[in-house]
Chain A
Amino acid sequence: MTTSTEPLSSVHMPKRRDSFIELNGRERALVFCDLDSWRELLGPFDRLESPWLLPQNVTPQADDGCIVIKGKIDGVSTVVVSMEPAFQGGSLGEVSGAKICAALDLACRDNENGIQTNAVLLLETGGVRLTEANLGLAAVAEIISSLLSLRQLAPIVCLTAGTVGCFGGMSLVAALSSYMVMTVEGRLGLNGPEVIEQEHGVEEFDSKDRALIWAIDGGEQRYATGLADALVQDDVGEIRQAVRGLLKAGVPSVYRSAQVDLYRKRIAALDTAQQFNPEDLRKTWHRENTK
């Protein structure tokens, strides 16, 4: 038991001033909006928490690990949704899922009524929250649907910075967004290394091999192979600029997820007799040849 007698200022741990990754979910969400232009919706004091966690001896979080900020970015109405990576691994539950889905639906409605409203999704998530299983999975499907409606009307920028990355069902959400931003530390994939190792053994995927993990899921690889639109360093200013720039670019003319023929051909061209060399994929799937 320690008694704290230091002045308040010194109990705060020093942070690298410009690191985005070291910010919590709420701090990350607040990086983007124009000064004094924003407010939080359904914040902790609304106490919309998960009804499913207490009976499983899991402490709920008052915002269910999902922060929704409505404000302006460069003068344009924007909703910023941020998943708190430290709460249950950023996983999606019923309430956090409903927050994201409703935010996308409302942005869509505003656009339909002539109010340009864009979206930024900060996806730091392991996927569906297993303590809510089927409601988490259902929420992912609903978010996918709402995102597809919104993206026709307004740009949706998705960012994965690390350390959790974007895995599970939410990786589909990332793939469907208008633009994907990743840091070098960020990772994006459907199944995490541990899950693959559990299913098919360490030969299939050594989940302790960090070099392998980033070679496949990491920001540099995803960017080089055209699966991310911007690669940034872990710097608040650089990240803010990248997101703002992509929002300004507006609704893209082509979506990755609509290029069925291109990717069908790419998959058909792969020699499946052995594992693929991620480096080789950077040549055959060069980002210049994607859009």
Chain B
Amino acid sequence: METLEFKFSAKKKGTAKKRAHVGVVGSGDLEVLLEPLDTADAQVRIRTSVPGFSQQWQAVLDRFFMKYDGAVAIEINDAGATPGVVALRLAQAAEASE
């Protein structure tokens, strides 16, 4: 198991109106728990059963937070999803939290 933590500075608060949960921890999939935060940061914690991909996680999150600049806490439980699936789930979570 690998636990990764990332921080992103949020340009504005209040993008997320409510918490959101998407996904399932199935093989090649992940679940995302997203909660609004009352801070100037977005925080991401990832637990993954496939270690060694922190750069790829960084890249996916960078891309996500370019479009999404809310202050949120994101928890990810990952069972080997591809970057494409990760991006999908993050987008779904963001949409569901509006």
Contacts and interface: CB of A to CB of B under 8 A. Distances in A.
Interface of A: 1-4, 8, 11-12, 24-25, 43-45, 54, 57-62, 65, 84, 86-87
B26 A86 contact: yes
A86 B80 CA distance: 14
B77 A60 contact: yes
B13 interface: no
Given A59-B47, A59-B78, A44 B25 contact: no
Contacts of A57: 1, 49
**Which DSSP category, helix, strand, loop or mixed, fits chain B's interface?**
mixed
Given A54-B47, A62-B31, A25 B24 contact: yes
B12 interface: no
Q: Would you call the interface of chain A mostly helix, strand, loop, or mixed? A: loop
B78 to A, nearest CB: 6
A45 B21 contact: yes
Interface of B: 1, 19, 21, 24-27, 29, 31, 33, 35, 47-49, 56, 59, 63, 75, 77-79, 83-84, 87-88, 91-92, 95
B24 A1 contact: no
A84 B24 contact: yes
Contacts of A87: 24-26
Contacts of A44: 21, 31, 33
Contacts of A2: 83-84, 87
A61 B29 contact: no
**Most-contacted residue by chain B among A24, A43, A57, A61 (CB, 10 A):** A61
